[in-house]
């Protein structure tokens, strides 16, 4: 043994020549052992140095909290307004705490980029709230799964099989049918004030349900659709509610606010309903077919039958993913259309430009089809400007780093909740000229740079990189087609000439606090569009 260490000393200290001489005398095992030892020492010391750097770095600034509770009592009633105001006072990266949970709020594009681009994998995890654990079989869906091969498998399946051009084309007829139904419903109420927000919501739910399993909200089924809406709204509210079981995990067994049991009640109702749809589908075989259309459920069940671990899905995963789709597909898209209509009605000169474009491209005699959408650049800019001023997920979904890191000179502890305040970034006068003005024209210039595919950290309403929204291709089609149809088929009058306000309400998704009430007026000479 001592002979071995003598040889190591020769290697470490003597001349190049002697080293070469010495090498000849070593066995392969001895050389390998030396290299392993050296590597382990390097790893050990670099970790020590990293730990020391992290320890000596600062914690992000933030308001002073109460002992034990931290900022729990301050974040209500309006979390978004509270964190935005605190960021204006303390800086673009701030820290709050709720019990032992650390919240980090980012309002800086460059810091967001550092996290989402340079530390993407570390920060692509989620700390799943108790309400979501109850609602997703412990996190079997996409939204609440942490980073890893299972998440990537699910995301790939949805993106490739469902959100691809082929997947979406396969269920175009379902979307088209529901939009035609919306036109018919509104046409029946010409001249009287209608709650357009509710109409848009029901259309979106109807479109989503019909794409997922061929369901519809017409006739008897309408009641069912409304019950789905109420149950899922309750579930979302509970997920957004600060929960003592999350903040103080030792209190979990007591379920003090009853959030977990309530969440389970609402979501179990929804899963019960889904099970009956799935059972019926399996009994009947293929389910409703329209021309060459296939609904999502059919595509998901085919994946379940594949029996190939790489691509197949379990029944629980299918149900959890369907829940993501109903929630993700309905609320966010509804909010975007509702805000776009509100902003256009507040800005008649912009509305006029949209109408001119629709008249030029679609004309008086035709119906808006998905194939026309790419020829409507001004309306596309309207949707982007709406997503800039009113991002439906203003803080994205909280990310969680699985190790402690140093970001912008501050230590971000492992397992903290990271909120990206896109709402504040997208309204920041430092990055946007006259940021509160509704100005779609800003998206007509430099269109490549000003897109929302996650490369710009000044405009990222869908997030970025590993956790970017999987629904973007569907959003692009459905938002544009519904908006174009509403504006092509009808003129809209404001009851008593009152402008709609832009008061916001955050319940996981940022919607209008008050519904949009307007009077539809028929505007096309060809009544075929209304039938």
Give the binding site for ligand HEM (CB under 6 A): 142-143, 155, 324-325, 328-329, 332-333, 336, 392-393, 396-397, 461-463, 467, 469-471, 474-475
Q: In this chain, which residue has its C-beta nearest to ligand HEM?
A: 471
Smallest separation, CB 154 to ligand HEM (Å): 8
Nearer to ligand HEM, 248 or 419 (CB): 419
Q: Does residue 348 contact residue 340 with C-beta atoms inside 8 Å?
A: no
Give every CB contact of residue 327 below 8 A, 6+ residues apart in sequence.
Answer: 232, 235, 236
CB closer to ligand HEM, 62 vs 329: 329
Nearer to ligand HEM, 248 or 438 (CB): 438
- Helix segments in 190-248, DSSP class H: 196-213, 221-240, 244-247
171 is in an annotated binding site: no
Give me the least distance between CB of 68 and ligand HEM, in Å please: 29
Q: How far is the CB of 457 from ligand HEM (least distance, A)?
A: 12
Using the structure block, give the residue that is written with the tokens 């848009």: 200
* Minimal distance, residue 531 CB to ligand HEM, in Å: 28
Shortest Cβ distance from residue 328 to ligand HEM (Å)?
A: 3
* Number of CB atoms found within 10 A of residue 140's CB: 19
Kindly tell me which of 146 and 372 has the beta carbon lying closer to ligand HEM: 146
Q: Quick count: other Cβ atoms within 10 Å of Cβ 464? A: 23
Which residues, in sequence order, are CB contacts of 189 under 8 Å at separation 6+? 520
To ligand HEM, the closest distance from the beta carbon of 10 in angstroms equals 55
Closest CB 466 distance from ligand HEM, rounded Å:
7
Q: Is beta strand 509-512 parallel, antiparallel or unpaired with respect to 194-195?
A: unpaired
Is residue 459 within 8 A of residue 450, CB to CB? The reply is yes
The residue among 194 and 383 lying less far from ligand HEM, judged by its C-beta, is: 383
Collapsed DSSP state (helix, strand, coil) of residue 406: strand
CA angle centred on 180, ends 178 and 183, rounded to 5°: 115
**Rounded-to-integer distance, Cα 61 and Cα 250, Å:** 28
Cβ–Cβ < 8 Å for 63, 89? yes
Q: How far apart are CA 441 and CA 109, in angstroms?
A: 22
Q: Are strands 101-106 and 417-420 parallel, antiparallel or unpaired?
A: parallel
> What would the 3-class secondary structure string for 278-307 be?
HHHHHHHCCCCCCCCCCCHHHHHHHHHHCC
Q: Which residues are annotated as a binding site?
A: 469
Q: Which residues are annotated as a binding site for heme?
A: 469
């Amino acid at each position: 043994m001592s002979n071995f260490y003598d040889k190591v000393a020769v290697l470490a200290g003597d001349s190049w020549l002697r080293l070469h001489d010495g090498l000849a005398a070593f066995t392969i095992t001895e050389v390998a052992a030396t290299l392993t030892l050296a590597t382990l020492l390097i790893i050990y010391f670099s970790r020590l140095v990293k730990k020391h750097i992290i320890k000596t770095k600062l914690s992000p600034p933030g308001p002073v909290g109460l002992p034990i509770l931290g900022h729990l009592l301050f974040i209500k009633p309006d979390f978004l307004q509270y964190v935005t105001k605190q960021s204006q006072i303390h800086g673009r990266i701030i820290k709050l705490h709720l019990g032992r949970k650390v919240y980090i709020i980012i309002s800086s594009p460059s810091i967001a980029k550092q996290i989402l681009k340079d530390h993407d994998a570390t920060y692509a995890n989620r700390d799943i709230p108790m309400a979501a654990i109850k609602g997703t079989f412990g996190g079997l869906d996409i939204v609440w799964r942490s980073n890893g091969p299972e998440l990537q498998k699910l995301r790939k399946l949805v993106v490739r099989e469902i959100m691809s051009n082929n997947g979406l084309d396969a269920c175009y007829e379902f979307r088209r049918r529901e939009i035609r139904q919306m036109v018919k419903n509104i046409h029946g109420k010409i001249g009287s004030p209608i709650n357009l927000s509710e109409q848009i919501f029901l259309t979106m739910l109807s479109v989503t349900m019909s794409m997922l399993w061929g369901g519809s909200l017409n006739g008897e089924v309408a009641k069912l659709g409304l019950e789905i809406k109420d149950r899922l709204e309750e579930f979302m509210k509970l997920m957004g509610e600060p929960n003592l079981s999350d903040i103080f995990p030792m209190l979990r067994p007591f379920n003090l606010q009853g959030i977990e049991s309530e969440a389970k009640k609402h979501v179990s109702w929804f899963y019960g309903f889904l099970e009956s749809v799935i059972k019926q589908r399996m009994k009947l075989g293929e389910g409703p077919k329209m021309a060459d259309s296939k609904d999502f459920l059919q595509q998901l069940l085919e994946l379940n039958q594949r029996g190939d671990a790489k691509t197949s899905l379990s029944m629980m995963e299918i149900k959890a993913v369907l829940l993501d789709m109903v929630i993700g597909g309905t609320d966010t898209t509804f909010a975007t259309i509702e805000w776009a209509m509100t902003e256009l009605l507040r800005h008649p000169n912009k509305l006029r430009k949209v109408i001119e474009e629709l008249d030029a491209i679609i004309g008086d005699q035709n119906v808006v089809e998905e194939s026309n959408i790419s020829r409507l650049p001004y309306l596309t800019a309207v949707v982007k400007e709406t997503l800039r001023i009113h991002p439906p997920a203003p803080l994205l979904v909280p990310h969680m780093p699985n190790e402690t890191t140093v970001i912008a000179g501050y230590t971000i502890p492992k397992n903290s909740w990271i909120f990206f305040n896109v709402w504040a970034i997208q309204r920041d006068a430092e990055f946007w000229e006259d940021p509160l003005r509704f100005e779609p024209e800003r998206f007509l210039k430099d269109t490549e740079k000003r897109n929302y595919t996650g490369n710009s950290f000044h405009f990222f309403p869908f997030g970025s990189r590993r956790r970017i929204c999987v629904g973007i291709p569907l959003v692009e089609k459905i938002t544009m087609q519904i908006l174009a149809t509403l504006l092509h088929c009808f003129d809209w009058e404001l009851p008593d000439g009152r402008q709609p306000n832009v008061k916001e309400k955050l319940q996981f998704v940022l919607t209008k606090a008050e519904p949009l009430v307007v009077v539809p007026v028929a505007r096309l000479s060809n009544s075929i569009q209304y039938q």
